[in-house]
């Protein structure tokens, strides 16, 4: 099973996990978030992030999901990438997280690709009568 760590600003990660658990109908295992605030020093937070990655890795790897590419949470996540073991996607949204949870029993590569597609496909313009 792929572990999933959300590294994001403030309470975004906690809120996404809460919503995903609601959508999935159960509390997901090996899913955690690391909240980054304005006053956090990335060098100080990095050891905690590494610790969480170790806790979440059941042997199949960890998928990191961060919010904004280029922002502090993403920069921290980028320092954790280990190809084939720890992969990262930026721009996390609820469809991406639900897709990652749905495919987490596949390989890390497959789970990452499915999550990325889910994140992209989950963003759309609605016209009247679409929903």
Q: pLDDT for 51-98, tens place per residue?
A: 999 999 999 999 999 999 999 999 999 999 999 999 999 999 999 999
pTM of the model: 0.95
Domain 3-103 has what CATH class? alpha beta
| Structure confidence at residue 131 as a pLDDT band (50, 70, 90) | low
Q: What pLDDT score was predicted for residue 4?
A: 98
CA-CA distance, 40 to 38, in Å (whole number)? 6
Structure tokens at 112: 């990452």
What percent of the chain lies above the pLDDT cut of 90? 93
3-state percent breakdown (helix, strand, coil) of the chain, nearest 5: 45, 20, 35
Written as one string, the DSSP assignment of 26-50 is SPPSSEEEEEE-TT--HHHHHHHHH
Domain boundaries, the chain: 3-103
């Amino acid at each position: 099973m792929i572990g999933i760590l959300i590294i994001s600003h403030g309470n975004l990660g906690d809120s996404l996990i809460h919503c995903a658990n609601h959508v999935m109908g159960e509390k997901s295992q090996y899913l955690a978030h690391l909240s980054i605030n304005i006053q956090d020093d990335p060098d100080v937070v990095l050891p905690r992030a590494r610790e969480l990655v170790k806790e979440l890795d059941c042997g199949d790897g960890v998928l990191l999901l961060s919010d904004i590419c280029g922002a502090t949470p993403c920069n921290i996540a980028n320092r954790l990438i280990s190809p084939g073991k720890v992969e990262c996607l930026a721009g996390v949204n609820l469809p991406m997280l639900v897709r990652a949870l749905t495919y987490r029993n596949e390989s890390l590569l497959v789970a990452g690709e499915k999550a990325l597609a889910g994140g992209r496909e989950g963003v759309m313009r609605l016209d009247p009568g679409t929903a």
